[in-house]
Structure 1
Amino acid sequence: MLQELTIRNFAIIESLNLSFQEGMTVLTGETGAGKSIIIDALGLLVGGRGSVDFIRHGEEKLEIQGLFTINAQNKGCLEALENNGIDASDHMVVLERTLFQSGKNTCRINGKLATTGVLREIGSRLIDIHSQHEHQELMNDEFHLQLLDRFAWKEIAPTLSQYKAKYAEYKEMKAKWHNWTKNEQELAQRLDMLRFQQDEITNADLRLGEEESLMEQKHVLANFEKINENLQNAYTALQGEERGLEFVSEAMRYVGAASDILPEFKTLSESVASSFYLLEESAMQIRQELDKLEFQPGELDTIESRLNELNQLKRKYGKTVEAIIHYNEEIDQEILELSDRETHLGQLEKELDNAKQELQKLAEKLTTIRQKAAKQLEKQIKNELNQLYMEKAIFQVNFAIPESEFTENGIDKVAFYMSTNPGEPLKPLSRIASGGELSRMMLALKTIFSRHQGITSIIFDEVDTGVSGRVAQAIAEKIYAVAVGSQVLCISHLPQVAAMADHHFYIAKTTTANRTMTSVTALSGDEKVEEISRMIAGIEVTDVTKQHATEMLTQATKIKSAKQN
């Protein structure tokens, strides 16, 4: 659940720090005071789409931070945190998001930098925001299959996962089949091109390590004169007129004679003698290397030509000789398959047919699970709608004729149908629901899904749109029922909803030094009576409206006590 929320420089909010508790929290205030802005900030915090337009005018950045606690039942969130290497052993999660005027976006989870995608993945398992956008999704038939799958997620997830894996395999196999069933001319052209490439690579007679060896030879030939000159000078210094070795030989004799007189020079004599013999051997090796050196003018051109040939092949077939050899092996295999196209195509068609049969079985299994879940959802929706004064409404999950082709989610096409009045035929939800009916329908779904998803923080942004009277009271009681044992934050204009709240925040907009700011005040006692009176009466608060507000609060206390017991 959401414990703390800090917002800085978001729209008209300069700085805001809020603490939340379990149960039902209502946020009320005049239109435009910033109630929905707080929900928008929460949406951004849990991975919503960001924009520099959110940043308060004149500021460089906006910052949002939220502290959440998670219970052991929210396994989806704990697994997502672990999979992303985020430590939450204390069952606490801090989400942070910063947006800069430059467009830079920074996200952190428990202090660790994260992508917006990871923030959204974690955030979606911490808090569920119900807004007008979801009303629009409910009016879209394509969204209904997702809702049904969410309802039956525990039952459907294993099979759906198997289906998706098999579907990906089937799509890849089918793409290969399409490639193999192209017209004969394309395949013949492909075969000719591959054979040309194969001949070019084969005729090059590539050998691993050849390029490195050629580069080394090129280096030697390119520096032949310098190598020869240096070796000649070294040999001359040792054995030429400069008599390097002869001088060392004389030094060896003189030190040897000295060691015959004084034994303590024996080690020095041996060292000089050893140096002489090493130099003598080195002079012989230099002479041998000079004898081997032979410059052939055409050899460098030959090496250059071979290296150029290798570079041409690398530009066409791979970055290295090894990669070219590997590519040639792939060509060999494809040529073999193209040459025996009918046999290969037959084998591929057999594999495709087997995959299709396996996919069909999984798709039918999905359909069976969904149809069973649909009956349970219909029953539970009916029960919820009864409590929201829609006793005559009929709700049905309609399964259309299965798709002729597989989709990512199976072969099912699902749409929610409804009849709100006796005698009226069932019609798609998008064609019959009014604003108030749609609000109650979504609230019924949220009530049901809150039991299935393990998310203990739910946000209702003006879920009571288009209702009043006893329906408003029913919605207030339904929201409170969702909040029992969890946490619900609710923006509302209905006094019935405000009266049922465990905690009440009043959002106000003030202007100071020509700047607009939003402030939040926690209400209790007389303050709560005053605000509910304003919600009942509008601008003018009277003793009668205050009495009415007090009665609503008293009645709400009784209802809440009964529900808790």
Structure 2
Amino acid sequence: MLREMSIRDFAIIQEVHLTFDRGFHVLTGETGAGKSILFDALSLVVGGRGSQDFVRHGAKKAEVEALFDISGQPAVHSVLDQLGLSTDGEEHLLIRRDIAQNGKSTCRLNGQIITLAMLKQVGEYLLDIHGQHEHQSLLQVEEHLNWLDAFGGPDLIRQRERYQKAFENVQRVSRELARITADEKEAAQRIDLLSFQKDEIAAARLTPGEDEELAQEHSRLAHAEQIAQHASRAYDVLYGDRQGAELLNQAVGDLEEIVQFDESLQPVLEMVQSAYYQVEEAARQVGRYRDDVEFDPARLSQVEERIHTLDQLKRKYGETVEAIIRHGQEAEKELEQLLNRDERKYDLEQTLTELEATLAEEAEVLTRLRIDAANRLNKRVETELADLNMKGTRFQAAFLGEDESLPYTPAGRDRVEFRIAPNPGEPLRPLVKIASGGELSRIMLALHTIFSDLDGVPTLIFDEVDTGVSGRAAQAIAEKIARLARERQVLCVTHLPQVACMADVHFHIFKESDEEQTRTRVKLLTMEGRTMELARMLGGVEVTDTTKTHALEMLQLAERTKEAIHSR
């Protein structure tokens, strides 16, 4: 549940701090005062897209913080554990989102920096935001199937996943079969190319790491004379005329004589002895190395020729010997498939037949589950609409093309369209062709009421979903939201006094301007303040005694209505 929210330098908001409680909260104010901006800010703290346009003019960054109480929400704790964001038993989450002037954002959860993707995963379990634009999804027939599947529950979702896996298997085998049965001329050309590549790489008899070994050998052969000279000089210094080892041996003898009289020099003696043995061994190894060095022009030519061969292969098949070897193996594998494509084609056709049969079975099961879900959804929506002053309205999630052979798609073989008959005796017609703005608002609220029972998100936010309604329909919407607020925390932006009067908490959003800037302010209203705000909503700019009396009566009636709702 949302407990507190702080906003700084966000759009036209300089600084706002709000405290929330349980129940039904409304936000009202004149058009353009910034009511929906608050919900834009809330969208950010649960992973919404950031933009440089959110940063208030003249500010370096926009800041939004929200404190959530997650006690009694195991789903939130579960997703936090999965993401490695343990709260160590803490029952509160502090989420902060900063948006810089260049549009880049930073996300923090309890002070820890997290990614936007992680924030979205957590946010799905904290807030459920519904705005006017969502009405449009009801008018998009392709979205209706997704609404139905969401209502169908875990069994239907699992079946849809099984179907999708079967669909992907069919697509994969179909693509491979199409590749094998491609133009024969193209296949013959491919065979020639792969045969040449395989034979050329095989003829080279490559060894992993060979290029590095050849490079080292080439360096030794190309500089053999210089190497021999330096090796000879080094040997002479260590063991030849200059007698480096012999001189060290003499030093050892002298130090041994000193140590007989002064043992403090024993460590020095040991160091010189060690040096003598090491120089002697080094001299022997340098001598052997010198004796082995030889200039071999024939071998140098062979090495250079081999390096040239490898360079040519690298330009064709890969940057390393290992990459060339892999290319040869892949060419050989593909060549074998092409040479045996008739046999492979037969096997794929048999496999495809089996997979298509499985796909048909999974699609049939998916359709049956959807039909069952549609029947349940129809009844639930009609019940909810009756509560919203649309009693007698018939609703149907209709399956289209049942008499046709519909193609298989990633979502199944079903096409669903929501249809409605607002008045008794009228035929069901597509929602897009018959529903008014007010009816859409109520249908949307009915669906959100149904789905809120399924998803368990503790806080629901409605941004002017009551657009286009008035009178008794407005009262019905207000009562429906009040009923939702018995079990959930609900925040709602509204222009309707019928909705505003049913709230448990009422915030007034207004603008203040001076010569330099405009600011949005938020004020928690007392009973007197609510009366004045409702009077403004009822009467417009001029507030009269009559409108104030009417507003007070609405508030008193709303209290009685809420008592009746809570007692059910």
Q: Distance in 2 between matches of 1:280 and 1:98?
A: 70
Kindly state the Cα deviation for residue 529 of structure 1 after the two structures are TM-superposed. Answer: 1.2
TM-score by length of structure 2 reads: 0.91
Q: Mean Cα displacement is larger for which, 394-403 or 21-30?
A: 394-403
Residue 17 of structure 2 corresponds to: 17
SS at match of 1:422: coil
Judging changes above 3 Å, is the alpha-carbon distance between structure 1 residues 421 and 198 closer, same or farther for their aligned structure 2 residues? same
Aligned positions of 1:443-454 closer than 5 A? 443-454=445-456
Amino acid at match of 1:387: D
Structure 2 equivalent of residue 468 of structure 1:
470
Q: Which residues in structure 2 correspond to 1:156-167 (within 5 Å)?
A: 156-167=156-167
Distance 2:522 2:294 in 1: 92
CA drift of 1:49 comes to 2.6
User: Hey, what does 2:390 align to over in structure 1?
Assistant: 390
- 1:171, CA displacement in angstroms? 2.3
Measure how far apart 1:68 and its partner are: 1.9
Alignment of 1:207-218 (within 5 A): 207-218=207-218
Deviations 1:147-171 (A, max 9, x none): 1111122231222222233333332
Q: Secondary structure at the match of 1:198?
A: helix
Distance 2:216 2:96 in 1: 56
User: Residues of 2 paired with 1:65 and 1:276: CA distance?
Assistant: 74
Distance 1:26 1:74, change over 3 A: farther
8 A Cα contact 1:96 1:107, kept in partner: yes
- 8 Å CA contact 1:400–1:412 kept in 2: the answer is yes
Q: Secondary structure of the equivalent of 2:426?
A: coil
- What residue number does 1:406 align with? 408
Report the counterpart of residue 115 of structure 1 in structure 2.
115
Change over 3 Å in CA distance of 1:253–1:511 after alignment to 2: closer
Q: How does 1:101-500 map to 2 (within 5 A)?
A: 101-238=101-238, 240-244=240-244, 283-401=283-401, 404-500=406-502
8 Å contact from structure 1 (residues 251, 272) kept in 2: yes
Letter in 2 for 1:109: L
Give the 3-state SS of the residue equivalent to 1:234 in structure 2: helix
**Which digits, 9 at most, give the CA deviation of each residue in 1:279-333, with x for residues without a partner?**
6665454433322210123433432332343243334333432333233222222
- Residues 218 and 300 in structure 1, CA contact (< 8 A), matched pair in contact too: yes
- Report if aligned partners of 2:150, 2:157 keep a CA contact under 8 Å in 1: no
Q: Distance in 1 between matches of 2:549 and 2:271?
A: 117
How is 1:33-112 mapped onto 2 (pairs within 5 angstroms)?
33-70=33-70, 72=72, 75=75, 77-88=76-87, 89-112=89-112
Counterpart residue number, 2:564 = 562
Equivalent residues of 1:74, 1:454 under 8 A apart:
no
The alignment partner of 2:15 has SS state of: strand
Residues of 1 paired with 2:560 and 2:397: CA distance?
37
**322-331 or 547-556, which moves further after superposition?**
322-331
Query: Residue 16 of structure 2 aligns to a residue in which SS?
Result: strand
Contact 1:228 1:290 in 2 (8 A): yes
Distance 2:234 2:141 in 1: 90
AA aligned opposite 2:508: Y
Task: Report if the CA contact (8 A) 2:239-2:283 is conserved.
Answer: yes
Deviations, residues 235-256 of structure 1 (Å, cap 9, x unaligned)? 3335544455666677788889
Render the CA deviation track for 1:32-65: whole Å, top value 9, x for unaligned.
1111111122223322232212221112211112
Q: Output the aligned Cα RMSD.
A: 2.9
SS in 2 for 1:500: coil
Shift of 1:80: 3.3
> Quick one: which amino acid aligns to residue 465 of structure 1?
T
Separation in structure 2 between the aligned mates of residue 262 and residue 531 of structure 1, nearest angstrom: 109
Relative to structure 1, the CA distance from residue 36 to residue 192 in structure 2 (aligned partners, 3 Å threshold; closer, same or farther) is same
Residues in 2 aligned to 1:496 and 1:33: alpha-carbon distance in whole angstroms: 20
Quick one: structure 1 residues 557 and 309, their matched pair in 2 at CA, closer, same or farther if it must change by over 3 Å?
same
Q: Deviations over 1:333-370 (max 9, x none)?
A: 22111101110011112222222222222222111111
Structure 1 runs not aligned, ≥5 long? none
* 1:205 partner amino acid: R
Q: Which amino acid aligns with 2:492?
A: C
CA distance in 2, matches of 1:58, 1:248: 79
Letter in 2 for 1:483: A
Range moving further from structure 2, 172-181 or 87-96: 87-96
| Separation in 2, partners of 1:536, 1:22 | 27
Deviation at 1:91, TM superposition (A): 4.1
Compared CA separation, residues 374 and 243, structure 1 to 2 (3 A): closer
* Secondary structure of the corresponding residue to residue 487 of structure 2: coil
Does 50-59 or 497-506 show the bigger shift? 50-59
Q: Distance in 1 between matches of 2:18 and 2:269?
A: 91
Aligned mates of 2:133, 2:220 — CA distance in 1? 73
* 1:528 aligned residue: 530
* One-letter code aligned to 2:378: E
Contact preservation (8 Å) 2:47, 2:119: yes
CA distance in 1: counterparts of 2:311 and 2:270, whole angstroms: 56
Q: Cα distance, 1:97 vs. partner? A: 1.8
* Cα 1:384–1:237 shift into 2, 3 Å: closer
1:218/1:404 CA distance change after superposition, 3 Å: farther
Query: Any conservation in 2 of the 1:81–1:87 contact (CA below 8 Å)?
Result: yes
| Contact in 2 for aligned 1:8/1:16 (Cα 8 Å) | yes
Q: Secondary structure at the match of 2:18?
A: strand
Q: Indicate conservation of the 8 Å contact 1:87/1:110, yes or no.
A: no
Q: For residues 500 and 251 of structure 1, do their structure 2 counterparts lie closer, same or farther at Cα, with a shift above 3 Å needed?
A: closer
Distance 1:117 1:557 in 2: 42
Change (3 A) 1:315 1:120: farther
- TM-score w.r.t. structure 1 length? 0.92
| Structure 2 gap ranges (5+) | none
2: CA distance, partners of 1:185 / 1:105: 55
Is contact 2:95-2:109 (8 Å) kept?
yes
